[in-house]
Amino acid sequence: MPEGVRDRRDRAGEGKRGLAEELGARHYIDAERQQPGAALAELGGARLILSTAAGTKPLAELVDGLAPHGRLTVVGFDGMPLQLPLGKLVMGAPTVAGHLTGSPADTEQAMRFAVTTGVRPVVETVALEEGKARFREREEGRRSPGEPGPWDAVDPEPRALGFRIRCCSG
């Protein structure tokens, strides 16, 4: 596992533990059985949470899992308002930010990080005729590249970066 990318949280249950471990996770948090924010806090808090989940509902709880001055970066959303308790924002001084695609400099920095640390995407190639069905399965949270299901990269180290390939076809 590349240095700086240590933890993964899988929203889809215990059945996904194997993939998380195969990808190099040192810790696994099953969001169906425990509260991710509280579990991350028990591990010392995450300096960065990269949330690829399409819903805003779990984000407020994830703020509990941030280390002081930690960062929650949201790249998936459902269009609903995000409600965060003011006390968490004042006491922990976290940063909550959205990220769509970034600037060319952001992309260059991310690629440089990936090359120097060995971070690689999980890619699944499917026949063109299967593309629409596979994309729909991923959007509905039923599967991800390589089978598993939607997962979020969660890392208590400052140099974290996660990739998720949403759909690809061959």
Q: Is residue 134 part of a domain?
A: yes
Q: How confident is the model at residue 68 (pLDDT cuts 50, 70, 90)?
A: very high
Whole-model pTM: value is 0.55
Identify whether 170 is part of a domain. Answer: no
pLDDT at residue number 1: 40
pLDDT at residue 5, as a whole number: 44
The pLDDT tens digits for 123-156 are: 777 777 777 887 777 766 665 555 543 434 443 3
- Is residue 169 situated within a structural domain? no
**Tokens representing 60?**
């407020």
Residue 47 falls within a domain, yes or no?
Answer: yes
Containing structural domain, residue 122: 7-155
Q: What is the 3-state secondary structure (H, E, C) of 16-77?
A: HHHHHHHCCCCCEEECCCCCHHHHHHHCCCEEEEEECCCCCCCHHHHHHHEEEEEEEEECCC
**Inside any domain, residue 168:** no
For residue 7 the two structure tokens come to 């933890």
Beta-bridge partner residues of 8:
28, 153
Residue-averaged pLDDT of the chain: 71
Domain total for the chain? 1
CA-to-CA separations, 97 to 39, 120, 146, in angstroms, rounded: 22, 24, 29
Stretch 54-58: mean pLDDT: 73
Within a domain: 162: no
Position 167 in a domain: no
130-139 per-position pLDDT tens digit: 778 877 777 6
**Residue 81 sits in a domain of what CATH number?**
3.40.50.720
Q: Are 36 and 28 in contact, with CB atoms under 8 Å apart? A: no
Is 14 part of a structural domain of the chain? yes
